Structure 1
Amino acid sequence: MKERATIVCRQHDKILLVTRGRSRWSLPGGTIRRSESPIEAARRELIEETTLAVDGFTYLFEFGGLTKRHHVFLVDLPPDLTPAASNEISRCRWIRPVQVSNVITSVPTREIVRLLISHKNVTMALRTVGLGTGTAAGPQTAV
């Protein structure tokens, strides 16, 4: 099974999706190289795909697909940062998480966002970063 770093970039109440030409929209990220940790791959992929060089990644969870294991990270982007499509990425788009089901996305992207919105434990852990609803805060790990 291939290991992948996947990044949920949040700015205000929206998340960032990227696409390669006419393919489906997806969360930024890519394959973890042999010499990399998941967080190193997340940082590298975000720079390569969006030109965004940021810190403050929070590890959220592992998501297993049919052929890939996604190590999912969250990063809050300052309001003055704007992603720019780079390398194989042709477009970047901000979208509210609840609207992802209205966009043609990869299956892992759709399911990861669905988990962020609906899964009770994940939602509780994300309340302080604005992806969940309510006021209680759960544990986070910044890396």
Structure 2
Amino acid sequence: MKERATIVCRQHDKILLVTRGRSRWSLPGGTIRRSESPIEAARRELTEETALGVDDFMFLFEFGGLTKRHHVFLVDLPHHLTPAASNEISRCRWIRPSHVSNVVTSVPTREIVRLLISHKNVTIVLPAVDLGTETVASVQTTV
């Protein structure tokens, strides 16, 4: 199973979706390289796809798809930062999480956002996860 870093970028009450040309909308992210941790991949992918250099990532949970395991991170973007489509990404779009079901998205994107909405204002307790230099035992989600 391939490992993927997936990032939920939040600004105000919206989350960021990206697309490659005419493909489906998805959360930013990509494959974790052999030599990097999930959080390192999240930082690299967010910079590559949106030109956003952000360091304040919070690990949320792992989501298992059919062929990929998503290591899902949350980033709260300051209001002055604006994503710019970069590399293989052709467009960026802000959307309210409750409206994700109204756009054509990847199945993992739709399910990850659904999980976030269903756990709004709830603490998700996870087993300790080693993220290289960081270990996360529980997180607070408010989407």
Letter in 1 for 2:30: G
**Percent identity at matched positions?**
85
- Counterpart in the other structure of 1:40: 40
State the match for 1:65 in structure 2: 65
Question: How far did 1:50 drift?
Answer: 0.1
User: Displacement, 1:118?
Assistant: 1.0
8 Å CA contact retained: 1:4, 1:38: yes
In structure 2, the gaps of 5 or more residues are: 125-137
Give the number of the structure whose residues are more often helix, by fraction: 1
Confirm or deny: 8 A CA contact 1:48 1:87 kept in the other structure. Answer: yes
Supply the AA of the counterpart residue of 2:123: A
Q: CA deviation at 1:114?
A: 0.2
- Please state which structure has a larger fraction of its residues in strand: 2
Q: 1:74 — aligned with what?
A: 74
The residue aligned with 1:50 is 50
Q: Give unpaired runs (5+ residues) of structure 1.
A: 127-138
| 1:140 Cα deviation from its structure 2 partner | 2.6
- Secondary structure of 2:109's match? helix
Moved over 6 A (4+): none
Deviations 1:67-115 (A, max 9, x none): 0000000000000000000000000000000000000000000000000
Q: Which residue of structure 2 aligns with residue 124 of structure 1? A: 122
* Partner Cα distance (2:57, 2:122) in 1: 18
Give, in whole Å, the separation in 1 of the partners of 2:37 and 2:4.
10
Q: Does 2:139 match 1:140?
A: yes
Is the 1:116–1:123 contact (alpha carbons within 8 Å) kept by the matching residues of 2?
A: no
CA distance in 2, matches of 1:66, 1:27: 17
Q: Provide the alpha-carbon RMSD of the alignment.
A: 1.4
Matched pairs, number: 127
Distance in 2 (CA, whole Å) between partners of 1:125 and 1:12 is 20
Shift of 1:57: 0.3
* Per-residue deviation, 1:123: 4.4
| Aligned equivalents of 1:96, 1:104: Cα separation in 2 | 14
